[in-house]
Structure 1
Amino acid sequence: MSLPGHVAIIMDGNGRWAEKRGLERIEGHRRGAEIADAASHWCADLGIKYVTLYAFSTENWKRPEREVSFLFELMLVYIASQLQNMLDESVRMRFIGRINDLPEKLREFAKHIEARTASGKKLTVIVALNYGGRAEIVDSVNRFIESQRIDEKRRITEEDITGNLYLPEVPDPDLIIRTSGEERLSNFLMWQSIYSELYFTKTLWPDFTKEEFLEIMEEYSKRKRRFGAHQ
């Protein structure tokens, strides 16, 4: 079976999952964190080298302050609880997004986790945090402009933008999965997703299972990726 080297996931539906059960939305996020951890293990078990998880977008600041605060605290507590497992299993964790705009405690925590797990080789888990695809492109262009001397002004190329993304060395996602029934990318990896295969499922993220994940891998293996070529 042909498997993707990089899977990206839009983990959607936590709030609706909780509301359907008469629970607070934060309980959906708590359950969603457990599924995110499980999905990382599924990827590692299959030999997938990269998984990117859309944890908090630049638009998510519009949510109630209590929910945002809970999400940040959940990340701190849950990721810290999994640190030793990541070290034991040779998992590297990295963060993309406007990390410098996050609360100091979370910002420093992200740096700490990246440093502690930097030697991980089996799987790289990329957490998109305060992330927006358009923001990444803007940041890339500005980073390139700032790197140029005044006498070196020239037209910007695709390679310039790609080389100044948050993690330019990471390959583009082969497959993007979105749960909860929504069928759009919602500002996720806009530059990197041009030839990604897309898979949309109605399953709410907290209900996502290993069985469904394996079914998606089977479906992916049957697709013919042409990258713009005529066949």
Structure 2
Amino acid sequence: MKIPHNIIATGDDLGLNPSVNKAILYCFEHGYINSTSFLTSTEYFDETVELIHSNKTISNIGVHVNFASGRPITQFTQRDFLDNEGNWDLKKTNRKVYFLSADAKATFMKEIYAQIDKAVAANIGVLHIDSHYHLHTLPCFWRLFLQAAQRYKLKIRLAQTYYEGNYIKYLYRKRINDVFKSEGSQYSNYFESVNHFLKSHEAGVVNSLTEVMLHPDFDENGKLIDHFDQNSLPDWVNYLENLKLSGL
């Protein structure tokens, strides 16, 4: 299977668990994806590093910075963002309007750096960054992620570039994307869900570099699925197969 040159098909959540790792490798091997994003803060870090080093087909690797689940990997002092057991509390980190103190910014910045450094220290060729649950696009975080991208000379995932029925949200996302682009840090020119991409490109023609997000996994019956939106990955595979049949 051949992905068109101006499409980045990213398999998110590499490192989440063995099933996801197996599915992402499978998708690389079958040409369904050409990029992935690595969660470096899970218990499966070592086996994921081994998987990457043992399979050169896994390429275009980014760090999927995680403030959403599990524990921080640094001595994280901002307890307001953690639950009583010291795990990330997504209800707290995913606040749409939140202003961080200077100390909080420094603490989050240290955590971002540590999650990237963990991959770099394992000899992973990191090319881009994004985040679990798109937290890097929130008002309190996006400047920190841009700073990290520039420090490590990485590209950064855009906020979703399509209109979802909320004009304020669309304008906000456009604003931060314009900053990413003005700094030359964007990973693509557009970033879309599979559903929106397929609605917008029924003929298979893509005019500008576009990233499409996928979450490969296998269900209990061994069927390839998208663990975030079950139909997205099968729909994506059908799209690629139709491109092949049409000769595009």
TM-score normalised by length of structure 2? 0.37
Relative to its length, the structure with more helix (as a share) is: 1
Higher relative contact order (CA 8 A, sep 6+): 1
TM-score normalised by length of structure 1? 0.39
